[in-house]
Amino acid sequence: MKKIILTRRWPAEVEQALATHYECEFNEKDEPFSQSRLQQALVNADALLTTVTDRLDATTLGVADTRAKIIANFGVGYSHIDTDAARDAGIAVTNTPDVLSDCTADLALTLLLMAARRASEGERELRAGLWSGWRPTHLMGTKVSGKTLGIIGFGRIGRAMAHKAHHGFGMDIVVYNRSTVADNALNTVNARQLTSIEQLLTCADFVSLHCPGGQENTHLLNAERIAMMKPQSYLINTARGEVIDESALIDALASQRIAGAGLDVFNNEPDIDQRFLALDNAVLLPHLGSATVETRQDMGLRVLSNLNQYFSGQQPDDQVC
């Protein structure tokens, strides 16, 4: 029986399913693996089951006498894995696309609505016992229906976000994507594909990020680009923290050069920049994009399917390298 090591605790139903097929080593304390522990797992197991909290760089993957032949990642993003180094080490890498698209888009829309309607501010005021009652000018936010939503990255999650925003709130959709988007994907939400991020930023009331992380997109939203956003606009991020220059965003929020932001991901999670905590116009969530029972179970079962395919001699459906 092949041995697999999980770097974090997974839903109980998933762990039980894995245990019926493999010799499993679970992370009983559910604490992030150190680099040395990741290297030890690569040496001692046939497969390493990772999450976004695991940094598998070239040094980690370069450990001698690696036994593991597959890294099966729990999540769609894999910028935390050096895929070139994995390929050089003869290790396949898989992810879990599709199954988390709707729930991540739901969460992005939640952030958009919370930021626009100042929901976090209102809840904090009420819980602190500071609400003095209804009044005409109290916590006035921004209308969402009919506004323009700019989506950067029009993959599965971006398309799910567009569908919910257009058909649910009548939002106009504009899109920036590195490759040309098929007409049928645009037409279902009456979207327009723009030729540059700058063009999108200058016309959107809400900007939602759904692009991959990694070195290529690090600080894709830098100070210069954030300055192009409308003063009354909002920035939503459920992609990866490194996509935004956080210092530039904090400056823009503190000076109210943009109206607000809704963030589910950050650089250096969970050690986020403490300056965010002082900003009333920032909605902050602890990386909850796929955090529903149904989605997390489906993600784990997708990993199991990838493992089964790999160890039966097939190429996994979700192999990325």
What is the rounded average pLDDT for all residues in the chain? 97
Q: Which has the closest alpha carbon to 61: 34, 94, 79, 88?
A: 88
Query: Is residue 99 classed as helix, strand or coil in its secondary structure?
Result: coil
Of the candidates 23, 123, 224, 269, the residue annotated as catalytic is 269
pLDDT at 273: 98
315: number of Cβ within 10 Å: 11
Based on the residue annotation, tell me whether 269 is a catalytic residue of this protein: yes
Using CA atoms, how far apart are residues 170 and 154, in angstroms rounded to an integer?
Answer: 18
As a whole-number percent, the residues of the chain with pLDDT over 90 amount to: 100
Residue 81's beta-bridge partner residues?
56
**Intrachain domains 3-99+292-311 and 101-284 with the same fold:** yes
pLDDT at 184: 97
pLDDT at 22: 98
Strands (E), the chain: 3-6, 23-25, 47-50, 70-73, 92-94, 148-152, 172-176, 192-193, 206-209, 234-237, 260-263, 282-284
State the pLDDT confidence band at 296, using cuts at 50, 70 and 90: very high
Based on the residue annotation, tell me whether 240 is a catalytic residue of this protein: yes
Of the candidates 240, 246, 296, 302, the residue annotated as catalytic is 240
pTM across the whole model: 0.95
Q: Domain 101-284 adopts which CATH fold?
A: Rossmann fold (3.40.50)
- Please report, for the chain, the start and end positions of each structural domain, with discontinuous segments joined by +: 3-99+292-311, 101-284
- Whether a cis peptide bond, with omega within 30° of 0, leads into 270 is yes
3-99+292-311: which CATH number, 3.40.50.300, 3.40.50.11540, 3.40.50.2020, 3.40.50.720?
A: 3.40.50.720
User: 75-129: per-residue pLDDT in tens?
Assistant: 999 999 999 999 999 999 999 999 999 999 999 999 999 999 999 999 999 999 9
pLDDT at 129: 98
pLDDT at 152: 98
Q: What is the mean pLDDT of residues 250-259?
A: 98
User: 215-242: per-residue pLDDT in tens?
Assistant: 999 999 999 999 999 999 999 999 999 9
Based on the residue annotation, tell me whether 287 is a catalytic residue of this protein: yes
User: 150-207: per-residue pLDDT in tens?
Assistant: 999 999 999 999 999 999 999 999 999 999 999 999 999 999 999 999 999 999 999 9
pLDDT at 60: 97
Length of the chain: 321
The answer to whether 301 and 17 have CB atoms below 8 angstroms apart is yes
User: 203-219: per-residue pLDDT in tens?
Assistant: 999 999 999 999 999 99
